[in-house]
Amino acid sequence: MLVLCSYYSATFVAVFINVEIEYVRKFDFNSLSIQEKKIVLYLEEYTSIVRKDVETILNTSKRTAIRLLNELIEKEIVTTTGNTNNLEYILK
C-alpha cells in the first residue's frame, strides 16, 4: 500500500492508494514438480535461497537439493550468485 500525504492548513489529509505490482512468471509454473514449485514460491517471497534452506524446507538430502536447484537452472528459472562456498540461487 502506498500512502500519499498532503497538508492543508491545520488539517492533515491522508490518501491511501492501493498499488499492486503483479509478478509475471516467464515460465510454465504448472510444469514444475511440487518440490520445484515450493522453491520458486520461496524465491518469490524471499528473493534468494541457499542449498541448506532447500534441504530444510523440503526435508530432503543434500544430493536431492542440489539436483532440484540444478534442474531449475537448466530450465532457466533460477540463476546463481556468489562463489562456490557461498552460492545463492535467485529467480532469473
Q: What is the pLDDT of residues 43-72, one digit of tens each?
A: 999 999 999 999 999 999 999 999 999 999
d(Cα 41, Cα 4) in Å, to the nearest integer? 31
Report the predicted TM-score, pTM, of the whole model to 2 decimal places. Answer: 0.73
**DSSP track, 21-60:** -----SS-GGGS-HHHHHHHHHHHHHSEE-HHHHHHHHT-
DSSP 75: T
- Decide if 88 contacts 81 (C-beta within 8 A): yes
- CATH of segment(s) 27-91: 1.10.10.10
Q: What is the pLDDT of residues 21-45, one digit of tens each?
A: 455 677 888 889 999 999 999 999 9
For the chain, the structural domain boundaries read 27-91
